Chain A
Amino acid sequence: MIFLSTIAAAEAAPQSRAALFMFLGFVAITLVITYLSAKKSTGSSAYFAAGRRITGWQNGLAVAGDYMSAASFLGIAGMIALNGYDGFMYSVGFLVAYLTVLIIVAEPLRNAGKYTMADVLAYRLKPRPVRAMASLATLTVSIFYMIAQMVGAGTLVRQLLPGVGYEAAVIGVGVLMVVYVVFGGMLATTWVQIIKAVLLMSGSVFLSVLVMAKFDFSLAKFFEAVSAVTSTNADGTTVTRNFLTPGLLFKNPLDQISLGLALVLGTAGLPHILVRFYTVPDAKTARASVVWAMILIGLFYIMTTFFGFGAATLLGPDYLKLHGGTNMAAPELARFLGGEVFFAFISAVAFATILAVVAGLTISASTSFAHDFFTNVIHHGRETRPGEEVRVARITAFVVGAAAIAIAMVLGPKVNVAFLVGLAFAVAASANLPVIVFSIFWKRFNTTGAVCGMGVGLLSSIVVIMVSPDFMEHPLFPLRNPGILSIPLGFLGAFVGTFLKREPEAEAKFDELSVRANTGLGAEKATAE
């Protein structure tokens, strides 16, 4: 049905035919991969963790693929194109965040866990309350993030393929992600990420090179143009602004700091990033994969300078405001530099980006529900029937997909996507990171502390965002991102909660967790070929 209407649309607008074919090409390749993975994905370890046989560079590409969402590719390019320097601040935060992942979280998590973030917590704490809370936090983060991507997909498709409705696009993306996850499991999802990351990197390199070609590959000429971008004010007067000047977007410096906190501490709590470290054979490979991811993500965000500022100088903010606004800066720049075919290619890359990220989110959400909530909370850690965990995960993936489609359709194209993503990072930083850090490094930490920390972090980030400028005319909280308040509250909740009770069992097991996390002794191994 969706494809029929897409094809009809393409016939109506011949210039989008190229985009359609490239998009269908990507879909076809990924479906083949899903089919091949489905044949291999028997057993929990294979379904949830790709048999732990993904190599370092493959997982690095997949982490990068999971991370560089449409918000990065389209959103940041657009923000730089319209507001200059302040948009680039996002780029910086997104990379620096990986130092937290690399130095603090990745290796202990790989050494002591099995499929989900909660495994590490459940190690020495009481499994049921801890897993229930962790599963709730994971589902919250994943669903907010996923809805943001789906709404993005819906609005994007409307602009790229005129004639295809918002609803059709949302359903199409939703159905595809459910197919990848339900049939292909982690292996298919990983390969979808890898292909997407390669496409995204090559698209960005092409764009950047073409932009610089316009400036004779001279950085001096390029920055000279960036320092004098002309745009029209609401009253019709023209102004020339230096786009390298900070402060064109963020008026309150605290806004920047709050967002920075959420990015730098939130990434290490994003469930779809954390599960990736279980797909590799050992902690050393997990480390290598973060390094690969940092190289790719860093290069990508440095390139946002070229295509973001490139769109600002070559097209200008006025043109972009008339042609699709913030999100269309990268595709419009591609059209300007390389004509319809390049426009089609960059649009297809954007589709691939969205599809891959939602698939990654769906699998982390359904893994957490099946492994943490169903198997461990309801059934006390035992599968009542073999293979049940995987079956439950497949059903959950289906339900999560349907729910995300429904919510994205109800919210409609008007919802503010940036706040959903901001919320996802803030919840991850406030609810997940404090308890991960405490359970690995703090002997006295216990179940009460974990439940309090996750509860307070989750609740405070949601409450604070509800009273922020995105939601209220006269906001009680002046900043757009709740991080600066909710992250300290999450840490405080975990800290105070710990002192409410003593838990000798948790303290007794600290030695075991510490040895496992620091030496890798007894870590989950890769399955044999």
Chain B
Amino acid sequence: MPSDESQPPPDLTPSSGGPTDVSRLSQREPKPAHERTAEEDRDLADWKLIAGSEGFQELLRAKRRFIVPATIFFLLYYFALPYLVGYHPELMERKVWREVNWAYLFAFSQFFMAWTLAAFYVAAAAGWDRKAKALLASFKH
């Protein structure tokens, strides 16, 4: 922060005239929106009020209802593979189809597990997006 405002230093900031330029040192008008830091728009909203509202708490609960079980599920499903393969090889070496054994099939199924869970997540998240949008709109007076 220059303390001596009477003699502004020459401004050497490079400028291409585009909207992505950094604000010039001598700039007096407010910073463009993309340059404000979180600290600077701390007063953007009454955070406490929103955080305490029933709508926001409901949003958090809805997210938790999905995220916690989903995370536990995929971790269990994934680590079951090295566990079973490592400690119960006789089970996993049994053949399912022609030469393909359970070990390969289970490993292969992990890909579809990941894609399916991702699809469920996207569907659930679309609902949260709507909730969040409605919530923010209700706070805009």
Contact = CB atoms under 8 A, between A and B. Distances in A.
A519 B122 CA distance: 16
Interface majority SS on A: helix, strand, loop or mixed? helix
Contact of A95 (B21, B38, B41, B110): B110
A246 B94 CA distance: 12
Residue picked from B20, B122, B128, B132, most chain A C-beta under 10 Å: B20
13 contacts: A93-B78, A99-B117, A223-B98, A245-B103, A294-B114, A382-B1, A518-B60, A519-B50, A519-B136, A521-B44, A525-B33, A527-B32, A528-B19
B47 A511 contact: yes
A257 B51 contact: no
Residue picked from B22, B75, B87, B122, most chain A C-beta under 10 Å: B22
Nearest to B17: A42
B39 A381 contact: yes
A246 B92 contact: yes
Interface in B1-56: 1, 11-16, 18-25, 32-35, 37-39, 41-42, 44-45, 47-48, 50-52, 56
Contact of B85 (A246, A254, A525): A246
A123 interface: yes
Given A42-B22, A256-B85, A518-B60, A287 B122 contact: yes
Contacts of B117: 99, 103
B118 A291 contact: yes
Nearest to B133: A519
Interface in B76-132: 78-79, 81-83, 85-87, 89, 92-93, 98-101, 103-104, 107-108, 110-111, 113-115, 117-118, 121-122, 125, 128-129, 132
Nearest to A222: B99
Contacts of A526: 34
B107 A89 contact: yes
A298 B112 CA distance: 9
A390 B16 CA distance: 15
A529 B71 CA distance: 38
A250 B103 CA distance: 14
A46 interface: yes
Interface of A: 39-40, 42-46, 51-52, 85, 88-89, 91-93, 95-96, 98-100, 102-104, 107, 112, 114, 123, 220, 223-224, 226-227, 242, 244-247, 250, 252-254, 256-257, 260, 264, 284, 287-288, 290-291, 294-295, 298, 301-302, 305, 381-383, 385-387, 390, 511-512, 514-516, 518-522, 524-529
A117 to B, nearest CB: 15
B37 A386 contact: no
Contacts of B48: 511
Contact of B99 (A39, A104, A224, A520): A224
A264 B75 CA distance: 9
A104 B108 CA distance: 24
Given A88-B104, A524-B34, 17 more contacts: A46-B20, A85-B104, A96-B74, A102-B118, A223-B99, A246-B93, A252-B86, A253-B82, A290-B118, A511-B51, A512-B51, A518-B60, A518-B128, A519-B135, A521-B45, A522-B41, A529-B19
Contact of A522 (B25, B44, B135): B44
Q: 3 tightest CB-CB pairs across the interface, nearest first?
A: A253-B86, A511-B51, A256-B82
A440 to B, nearest CB: 11
B82 A257 contact: yes
Contact of A244 (B71, B83, B99): B99
Contacts of A294: 114-115, 118
B12 to A, nearest CB: 8
B20 A45 contact: yes
Contacts of B115: 294-295, 298
B124 to A, nearest CB: 10
A88 B107 contact: yes
B54 to A, nearest CB: 14
A428 to B, nearest CB: 17
Contacts of A260: 78-79, 81-82
A522 B83 CA distance: 44
Contacts of B113: 96
A108 to B, nearest CB: 10
A253 B111 contact: no
A92 B107 contact: yes
Contact of B89 (A247, A287, A390): A247
Contacts of B42: 512
B65 to A, nearest CB: 13
B123 to A, nearest CB: 11
B60 A96 contact: no
A98 B117 CA distance: 11
Contacts of B16: 39, 42
